[in-house]
Structure 1
Amino acid sequence: MTNFATDASLALTAPRQAGPLLAIASGKGGVGKTTLAIAMAHAFARRGQRSLLVDADLGMANVDVQLGVSAASDLASVVAGDLSLAEAVNCVGEGSFDLIAGPSGSAALAGLDLENVNRLAAGVTAASMAYDRTLIDLAAGAERSTIRLAAAADDVLIVINDEPTSLTDAYAFVKTLRMRDEGACPFVVVNNAPDPAAAHNAYLGFAKTCESFLGFRPPLAGIVRRDPHVPQAIRAQVMLESRYPASDAASDIAKLVRALEHGVTVK
């Protein structure tokens, strides 16, 4: 089995661990960001960490749909002032992670004003204090609300694939984030990789662009192989590792989570 997740030639000068509040971002939709966020939250939980997943895609939230759960409350109730973030937590299942669902099937929060976005960011930060690991599934793109929520996290994981539009849009996200926080240094994961060469080329191209125009080289946290078990798990509305624990993608996500816990090395 090829180890996609490590390559000494892609390693930065010193290992860096991801903080406990991690935002999952992508420049464009369709790269598997939400599926990856769910699988990562599950993997952290299985490693004994009390984990929370916040579906902060304010326009197209669908974590609860992918999981096949009926959330009793969501962010719409929080923004309306009916519930606190802590009161909006849903338990996905015993031994798994907690979820704060987004307003599924509704774009009601897509145009949320900055004051409410700031309140939401502060609330997520406060809620994360009760957990070992909190993941924020952001909306795709670089809208103001998305960047604000990303800036509230300790770290950002940007999800790319080998499509040119994925790389250009991910660069636009990182550039916008760096305009707000010049010290931001997102981790990178190449998702749905068809083969090692395509994955490494995608990362190297993205890293070179960031290095040339933004003055930093983002660390590669991992590569997740293209795996037919992933769409099968989505269709069945079950978590990948529960249904297909020996699958290539589940193995790669476990490596990704370990790398984020113990330090990503970037040369």
Structure 2
Amino acid sequence: MPLIAFASPKGGVGKTTMAANAAHEFARLGYRVVALDLDAQNALGMHFGADPYERAGFVTSLKDHADPRRAWQAHLQETPSGIALLPHGHATFAQTFAINAELISHPDLLIAPLRDILQDPQVVIIADTPPGPGVASSVIAAIVDYMVVVLLSDAASIVQLPKIDGKGMYRGAPGTPFPIGRIGFVVNQIDMRSRLSRAAAEAAERHLGSRLLGRVYRDEHVPEALARQLSVADYAPASKAAQDITAIALKIVEAVAPEQGGPMDEPAEEVGLAARPGPKMTVHS
């Protein structure tokens, strides 16, 4: 099943929030979801009710396993939300630098375990990557099925669009831009009271055309849901943000479905994905 990565040209745009809520939406559709935190901020688990003080993590322990393919099994956590989590783990700046250097030299430390997880035909991996161009994003680009780039509805994000398109901020094979047909964009936190925010959103829509997966309007239900470690759809199902995020998740499903065999070619409700037997997945609580 697919690996879907969430990325952003800069921090503070709501990338992790979008990744987490998309994971919730995939789970609501009946898919088995593994949320993968590749961002050293180690914040993805907060959206699923995971313990924010847990220091151990998948990424910080990549070098500690004799068989890299099985590295994920010791770190997969069951969360109160029902979504399985592979946390990044707490890391200092020096540790993060060392991890990146190791991944540059040995990318299979990350690729091998992800390929092992993806052998399960019922699993969808939602990966939260570090902001900006980075090592983790470049490494997993080789096996990513779809990449979602989250932009803030402001000038600082919109001016990044030529860089993303022209020089390939996100790359697949070394020196090769990520295939344009496998990348979609979300414009986040549009504030209709702000003329600048509206103008930035309109500029993004003109530039992106059909690559725009959707808009998410500023909605106080989003931070309130995070404070309660819930998805927006669970906290405020009738909210505009919940509707926006659900629509985006459905577009992502449509985008990856043509390349997938099996369950994603049919509606999840009809095939009963959650009930189908698959390779055993050990989850540590």
Q: Normalization by structure 1: what TM-score?
A: 0.77
Residue of structure 1 equivalent to 2:10: 28
Deviation (angstroms), 1:197: 4.7
1:110/1:68 CA distance change after superposition, 3 Å: farther
Matches within 5 A, 1:221-232: 221-232=213-224
Q: Does 1:84 align with 2:66?
A: no
SS at match of 1:84: helix
- Cross-structure match for 1:74: 57
Find the counterpart in structure 2 of residue 177 from structure 1: 170
Distance 1:218-1:200 versus aligned 2 partners, 3 A rule: same
* Amino acid across the alignment from 1:238: L
What is the 5 A alignment of 1:116-195? 116-130=106-120, 131-169=122-160, 171-173=162-164, 175-178=168-171, 179-181=175-177, 183-185=179-181, 186-195=183-192
The alpha-carbon deviation at position 253 of structure 1 amounts to 0.8
Q: Deviation of residue 52 (structure 1)?
A: 1.0
Runs of 4+ aligned residues of structure 1 deviating over 6 Å after TM superposition are none
**What one-letter code is carried by the residue in structure 2 that aligns with 1:262?**
E
2:29 maps to which of 28, 47, 61: 47
Native 8 Å contact 2:50 2:80 kept in 1: no
Q: What are structure 2's unaligned runs of at least 5 residues? A: 257-285
Deviation at 1:90, TM superposition (A): 0.8
Amino acid in structure 1 at the alignment position of 2:64 = A
User: Aligned in 2, Cα 1:92/1:198: closer, same or farther, shift over 3 Å?
Assistant: farther
Does the 8 Å contact 2:36/2:86 carry over to 1? yes
- Note closer, same or farther for the CA distance 1:202–1:125 as it changes in structure 2 (3 Å cut): farther
Contact 2:148 2:184 (8 Å CA) reproduced = yes
Q: Which amino acid is 2:57 matched to?
A: D
Corresponding letter in the other structure for 2:151? I
Change (3 A) 1:168 1:123: farther
How many residue pairs match? The answer is: 235
**What corresponds to 1:13 in structure 2?**
none
Residue 239 of structure 2: aligned partner: 247
TM-score normalised by structure 2 residue count: 0.72
Separation in 2 of the partners of 1:204 and 1:37? Answer: 21
Alpha-carbon distance in 1 for matches of 2:137, 2:153: 23
**How far did residue 156 of structure 1 move?**
0.6
Structure 1 residue 243, shift from structure 2 partner:
1.7
> What amino acid is the match of 1:62?
A
Higher RCO by CA contacts (8 Å cutoff, separation 6 or greater) = 1
The answer on whether the counterparts of 1:26 and 1:170 sit within 8 Å (CA) in structure 2 is: no
Report the counterpart of residue 263 of structure 2 in structure 1. Answer: none
> Shift of the alpha carbon at 1:158?
0.6
Displacement of 1:141: 0.5
3-state SS in 2 of match to 1:176: coil
Q: Is the 8 A contact 1:158 1:188 kept in 2?
A: yes
Task: Give the SS at the match of 1:230.
Answer: helix
Higher CA-based Rg: 2
Structure 1: gaps spanning 5 or more residues: 1-18, 208-216
1:218 deviates by 6.3
**Structure 1 counterpart of 2:116, one-letter code:** A
Q: How many Å separate the matches in 2 of 1:226 and 1:110?
A: 34
RMSD: 2.7
